[in-house]
Structure 1
Amino acid sequence: MDLKLKDKVVLITGPAKGMGASITRAFAEEGCKLALVGRDTGAIGQLIETLQIDDGAALVFGCDLTDATQCQAAADKTIETFGRVDVLVNVAGGSGPMGKTGAETTPEEFDEIVTLNMHGCFHTIRAVMPAMMEQHYGKIVNVGGTFGMHGKAGRLGYSASKWGLRGITKSFALEAGEHNINVNYVAPGMVDGPRFRDKVCKTMAAKLGISEAEAAERHAADYALKRITADEDVANACLFLASDVSRQITGVDLPVDGGWAAL
């Protein structure tokens, strides 16, 4: 199926690491023009070289997403350069305190993760929304997490921030729908990669006295499809929601977790 994303202007936050890099790669392979926004511009530049993106097809912005002024500047420069912004994919975010109860979480820790995971997406959506409304077209994809769909003990700050991002998503979807703008939420489950292997599996292996491979298998056993999500699975969900194939879908939570959160 041709998703017809070629030459679409796509602004991506957190584009260079983990699933962000896979999402950037997926849109680059579709022939999109990219505006890549994040703090680590060196890593973004290396990714552009690796992907061999054509000159003029990618912009790089160093940006603190918690600063509304910087987010607006990135959006304005994207529109000035490419003439429009068709798609916004908010990937950037943080984990917050892990293994702490809500009572143990400090106000500073709670504020920090909520600010990053909620304010950042709010700022970028506000920055691109007027242009999308004027052109009567836009696709916004917020990447959250399944812990923002049912809560998680020991991850109160993260869960609260992603739950709040769902509210932001649904409210913007209701407000922007009449302007032909779709706003949706992708919720990855546990995603395979260094963090999963080096932290989650190692911790479980040490606690239960099993191998790290066995720990990974135990995680997979919790999912209907009996496998861990890959970065590419999340990227494909973002492509789908950024395309007109999904034109009648807005305000939804799309778990990409092998059948865990919804079952």
Structure 2
Amino acid sequence: MTLAGKTAVITGSNSGIGLGVARELAKAGANIVLNSYTDHKQDHALAEEIATNFNVDAKYVAADMSKADDCRRLIEEAGRCDILVNNAGIQHVAPIQDFPPEKWDAIIAVNLSSAFHTTAAAVEGMRANGWGRIVNIASAHGLTASPYKSAYVAAKHGIVGLSKTVALETARDPITCNAVCPGYVLTPLVEAQIPDTMKEYNMSREDVIKNVMLERQPSKEFATTEELGGTVVFLCSDAANQITGTTISVDGGWTAL
């Protein structure tokens, strides 16, 4: 599944799932545009590392996915966008009556509206180039719900709907649009939560993972960023030419319940 000569733009990709996806796409030969809202030396160093390790072109573009103009500027500064992976996301947990309105606005902006803006900016270039792949990183929470996550669940359900709509609008073009719905993924952020959760519940690491963090994930195993990246690579391959407007769950059976 070679993606040589293609350029992939991945939002929110200086860590976690986004960085894992970027590395798998680079491994398949794609040139990479990393993104986050920061503009540190280490951000640009990540792009240099990917370029060196996978012998592809890679660069980092700082752009705040909570801002519409920045979302569209990212696509412009990428220069070319054959593959768009909308991954940027933030989270806040609270009962709806206590949910801060500013947190709702921020989550909807970053988790949902950013995908609208980047897609709107990228799709005509894909049409002009005669090929395109849009992969939106949704969540198991794009297909089901949990309490206290009203903004996140609403945004991820919205991402699934947006993916279907864009797929219909591009169905006669050589462009596909799909949503990947991860369950719990072992990222550095999740890994860092484990020691505190062990103390809170007075449990072993194994029990915290299986009985607390992965309570709703029947496999009782985390998905990995490499597995998410591999799923994205597949959706960008010729084998997935007729896969569009759908969701692929990478959740250990969560949404089968």
Matches within 5 A, 1:2-151: 3-42=1-40, 43-51=42-50, 52=52, 57-79=57-79, 84-95=80-91, 97-98=92-93, 100-151=94-145
CA separation in 1, counterparts of 2:101 and 2:243? 37
Residue 56 and residue 185 in structure 1: after superposition, are their counterparts in 2 closer, same or farther (change >3 A)? closer
| AA aligned opposite 1:87 | I
1:198 CA displacement:
3.2
Q: Which runs of no fewer than 5 residues in structure 1 stay unpaired?
A: none
| AA aligned opposite 2:203 | I
Q: Is the contact made by 2:48 and 2:58 (CA closer than 8 Å) also made in structure 1?
A: no
Q: Is the contact made by 2:89 and 2:110 (CA closer than 8 Å) also made in structure 1?
A: yes
Cα deviation digits, residues 1-49 of structure 1 (max 9, x gap): xx12112111111111011111111111122112222212324312123
1:221 CA displacement:
6.5
CA separation in 2, counterparts of 1:230 and 1:56? 23
CA separation in 2, counterparts of 1:26 and 1:77? 22
RMSD over aligned Cα atoms: 2.1
Q: Is the contact made by 1:72 and 1:127 (CA closer than 8 Å) also made in structure 2?
A: yes
Tell me the secondary structure at the aligned position of residue 254 of structure 2: coil
CA separation in 2, counterparts of 1:195 and 1:175? 36
1:111 CA displacement:
1.1
CA separation in 2, counterparts of 1:168 and 1:127? 15
Moved more, 218-227 or 151-160: 218-227
Residue 56 and residue 21 in structure 1: after superposition, are their counterparts in 2 closer, same or farther (change >3 A)? closer
Tell me the secondary structure at the aligned position of residue 76 of structure 2: helix
CA separation in 2, counterparts of 1:250 and 1:166? 12
TM-score by length of 1: 0.88
1:108 CA displacement:
1.7
Kindly indicate whether residue 190 of structure 2 is the aligned counterpart of residue 192 of structure 1: no
CA separation in 2, counterparts of 1:90 and 1:165? 9
| AA aligned opposite 1:85 | C
Q: Is the contact made by 2:47 and 2:59 (CA closer than 8 Å) also made in structure 1?
A: no
**How many residues matched?**
254
CA separation in 2, counterparts of 1:214 and 1:151? 24
CA separation in 2, counterparts of 1:221 and 1:147? 14
TM-score by length of 2: 0.90
Moved more, 123-132 or 40-49: 40-49
CA separation in 2, counterparts of 1:192 and 1:48? 22
CA separation in 2, counterparts of 1:152 and 1:201? 23
Out of 225, 230, 239, the position equivalent to 2:219 is: 225
1:166 CA displacement:
1.1
Q: Which runs of no fewer than 5 residues in structure 2 stay unpaired?
A: none
Q: Is the contact made by 1:16 and 1:44 (CA closer than 8 Å) also made in structure 2?
A: yes
Q: Is the contact made by 2:85 and 2:136 (CA closer than 8 Å) also made in structure 1?
A: yes
Cα deviation digits, residues 25-78 of structure 1 (max 9, x gap): 111112211222221232431212333257881232111123333333332233
Tell me the secondary structure at the aligned position of residue 152 of structure 1: coil
Tell me the secondary structure at the aligned position of residue 179 of structure 1: coil
